Amino acid sequence: MAWPDVLLPTTVMGSHPLPGWFLYALEGIEAGRFGRIETNEVFDDAVDMALRDQEACGIDIVSDGEMRRHHFIMGFFGRLAGLRRLDPPRRLGRPFYDTEPLFEATEHVRAPHGLGIVEEFRYARTRTALPIKIAVPGPLTLSTPIKRGEAYRNRERLVLDLAQILSAELKGLVDAGADFIQIDEPNFRVLYDEPGQLVELFNKLVHGVKAKIALHVCFGNLTARPRDRRSYAEIFPVLKDFRADQFVFEFASRELAELDQWKRYGGDRELGFGVVDQKSFYVESPEEVAARIRKALEVCAPEKLVVNPDCGLYETPRWIALQKLRNMVEGTRIVRGELAGRKGRRPAAAAAPARARKGAR
């Protein structure tokens, strides 16, 4: 994969905004009005659209938009065996975390045919020449809607089974050519209280995965609302113990709160810097983006800084999301120009993928 030859590469979190035609088509698919061929065409076209949108905005490292998934992780449960679907805890009122369906484990959970993420990557790889980041939900996040039932004595065993499924998916991605994988764990703090447990689980998950690994920790994004208290204070002290090349954190929605802690805890890792707030209808100007990047450069070396939105865009209206991405790219270019002028040369190349840079983990 050709890595972007710029400082401050721009990227996205994974999910892309859903246009009206796609939402309308999903209703037809769910109602059984589409056959297999038409269904495949819908999802292929949606991925193509997501990639073209990102390319047009000037994004350096793109994603397939997670267009084949449903509500972040819910589409994966149709591929997991050993689960029984339960009714949502609440049906009335505004959709929120308690209106999603739950599942109960009736036996140890398995994925006989994988989660389909490898196939997502393979298709996207044929549709763009740009570097691709593929996002994968972490085992804690995937376990969120699952009640352990009588199949598991404790929740830890369920999470480990999911981690085993996901580890196989990660290695399948590498075999397919993926060299930049992001693990999404917005529920990192919800299920485990001890940071050391989080480190142990994550390191088991990525053991032997020969790719650049990013860990994305946010606070939830359903209907643009957080699920948890919005602070990284408890995990900052153990960042050095994670086998991750990059940490991806949300800062824009929190007015850059805790950014100063990166200088103390970031070490030699890359920072995926959340510079625009996908939860807000306010569209940050390029100048505001540039000002935020300058603040990040006070605590992070430019060759270690990656610019991205706070979180995924699937809950954000497309017209706003694309303007945010365009302004994010333009603001980044402003700072690149400043860095080049300061050094009297063009911005240097970004770091190469971990697989090429330092081999197997």
pLDDT at residue number 206: 98
User: In whole angstroms, what is the distance from residue 232 CA to residue 218 CA?
Assistant: 9
pLDDT at residue number 18: 94
Q: What is the domain count for the chain? A: 1
How would you write 23-49 as a 3-class SS string? Answer: HHHHHHHHCCCCCHHHHHHHHHHHHHH
Please compute, for residue 309, the number of CA atoms within 13 A of its CA located in the half-sphere on the CB side. Answer: 31
- Is 148 part of a structural domain of the chain? yes
Tokens of 188: 């990192």
CB 303 within 8 A of CB 244: no
Which residue is it, tokens 């009005």?
33
Distances (CA, A) of 277 to 157, 308, 329: 36, 10, 14
Q: Is 214 left (phi over 0), alpha (psi -120 to 50) or beta?
A: beta
Question: What CATH number does residue 208 fall under?
Answer: 3.20.20.210
Give the CA diameter of the chain.
Answer: 66
SS3 118: helix
Sequence-ordered list of residues with C-beta below 8 angstroms from that of 236, at least 6 positions apart, any chain: 258, 261, 264, 265
pLDDT at residue number 357: 36
**62 DSSP β-pair partners:** 132
SS3 4: coil
Q: How far is CA 103 from the centre of its chain?
A: 23
B/e letters for 146-155, b = 16+ CB within 10 Å, e = fewer, are bbbbebbeee
User: In whole angstroms, what is the distance from residue 218 CA to residue 228 CA?
Assistant: 9
Sequence-ordered list of residues with C-beta below 8 angstroms from that of 283, at least 6 positions apart, any chain: 320, 323, 324, 327
- Is 6 part of a structural domain of the chain? no
- Is 4 part of a structural domain of the chain? no
SS3 55: helix
pLDDT at residue number 221: 73
- Is 248 part of a structural domain of the chain? yes
How many of the other CB atoms lie within 10 Å of CB of 91? 9
Identify the CA nearest to 325 among candidates 6, 16, 3.
Answer: 16
Helix (H) or strand (E) holding 303: none
- Is 99 part of a structural domain of the chain? yes
pLDDT at residue number 182: 98
SS3 339: helix
Domain hosting 121: range is 20-358
pTM of the complete model: 0.91
CB 298 within 8 A of CB 334: no
- Is 276 part of a structural domain of the chain? yes
Ordered DSSP codes for 217-266: E-S--GGG--SS----TTTGGGGGGS--SEEEE--GGGTTTTGGGHHHH-
Identify the CA nearest to 205 among candidates 155, 116, 269, 142.
Answer: 142
Q: What is the pLDDT along the chain (361 residues), one digit of tens a residue?
A: 557 888 999 999 999 999 999 999 999 999 999 999 999 999 999 999 999 999 999 999 999 999 999 878 889 999 999 999 998 888 888 877 777 889 999 999 999 999 999 999 999 999 999 999 999 999 999 998 999 999 999 989 999 999 999 999 999 999 999 999 999 998 676 566 688 889 999 999 999 999 999 999 988 776 667 777 788 998 999 999 999 999 999 999 999 999 999 999 999 999 999 999 999 999 999 999 999 999 999 999 999 999 999 999 998 999 999 999 999 999 999 999 999 988 655 554 444 444 333 333 4
